[in-house]
Amino acid sequence: MNMDGEIGAIRPGMKADLVVIDFGDVSYQPLNSAERQLVFSETGRGVETTIVDGRVILRERHITTIDEAALSDELA
């Protein structure tokens, strides 16, 4: 892919997509197998933060790329 030095590590300057999952969510209680519960129980409710190419898209369950209040007002 000719992306040596761009992908493959989580550090400054590298491209990375990350998702932070809240294992305190009811889907993970009791936490027996994070992998299994992520595949079979996660509906999106446990997603706390999403980072795409180093840019935070979702922070503490709020979208950072749009004004959610303005969108809600416009839809109403």
pLDDT, residue 38, reads: 92
**CATH: 3.90.230.10, 3.90.600.10, 2.30.40.10, 2.40.420.20. Which one for 17-75?**
2.30.40.10
Cα-based angle 53, 55, 60 (whole degrees, multiple of 5): 125
- Give the integer Cα–Cα distance in Å for 36 and 63: 27
Domain boundaries, the chain: 17-75
What does the pLDDT read at residue 1?
75
Residue type for position 61: R
pLDDT for the residue numbered 12: 82
> Is residue 73 very low, low, confident or very high in pLDDT (cuts 50, 70, 90)?
very high
pLDDT tens, 16-67?
789 999 999 988 999 999 999 999 999 999 999 999 988 899 999 999 999 9
